[in-house]
Amino acid sequence: EKGLREGDPFDEMVVQAKITQLGDESIGFRNLVELVSKQFAEEIETVDETRLINEFLKVTTIDPALVIPKVSILYGKVEDLSRPMLHVVTSNIGIEKPVEKGEITSEDHIRVFFFLLNRTDKPKLQLRLLSRLMDIVDRNRFVENICNPINEREIKEYLLHNNRFITLELIPETTTEQLIDKMLKDIRFPQDVLVAMIQRNEKIITPRGDTVLKVGDIITIIGEPKGIKLMFDKYIHIES
């Protein structure tokens, strides 16, 4: 079914990520780790919440908070995991995270947390995912840009490569009108792209083959740059 094919592991991890926007809500670092670990454990079921807490609380050797202010990546490894998992947390007011640097203990003021889970037997994939995240947080004005989006879809799109996704809003009497009231499985998209998520009003819908697209839907499509360009040329580009 469209929307379910295997693709780039980082892009698929981002699309399926859980997003928590704390806004001005105050929460302690330990409480945040416990909250995220509980949500991961509820989804995975075979993983103990306490173990995840301990994994995330380990001092990591790769932590961009040491290089890029206000950002922290925490990651854990799990044996029985079908896919990499990501939970992104943003905060307007920041959270004080303890950091040990040799014998010195201090606190970093963090506004963006990435909690990453990967399989224990996939160390190379872990490094690739971390590398992609590091490239993203190194963007100019990263913290401001990722904390400003008003919804989950906008945050996820910011984390994707520009040439690897396209967003279409389904509006009558435009090039996207032909997609309205169609099942995804009946739409002929390029082979190397897939519909990753659908925003309907304020709700994010996970696409399936029998999902029917409606007027006003905002669909995010991911894939290889060549396929995304074909989508752009068909639905967005206007000849002058």
- Residue 128 has a pLDDT of 87
Nearest-10 crossing angle of helices 29-44, 49-57:
130
Tell me how far apart the alpha carbons of residues 52 and 57 are, in angstroms, rounded to a whole number. 9
Which pLDDT value is given to residue 104? 47
Instruction: Give start-end residues of each CATH 3.40.930.10 domain in the chain.
Output: 9-159
Q: Helix, strand, or coil here: 179?
A: helix
Cβ neighbours for 67, distance < 8 A, ≥ 6 positions apart = none
Cβ atoms 233, 52 nearer than 8 A? no
CATH 3.40.30.10 fits 9-159, yes or no: no
pLDDT tens for the chain, residues 1 to 240? 333 334 568 888 998 899 999 999 999 999 999 999 999 999 988 888 999 999 898 855 445 555 677 999 898 888 888 889 999 999 999 999 876 655 545 567 899 999 999 988 888 888 888 888 888 888 889 999 999 877 888 899 899 877 788 999 999 999 999 999 999 999 999 988 989 899 999 888 989 999 999 999 999 998 888 999 899 889 886 543
Q: What confidence score (pLDDT) does residue 186 get? A: 94
**pLDDT of the residue at 4:** 34
Overall fold of domain 162-235: Alpha-Beta Plaits (3.30.70)
The pLDDT value given to residue 23: 92
Domain with CATH 3.30.70.1450 in the chain: 162-235
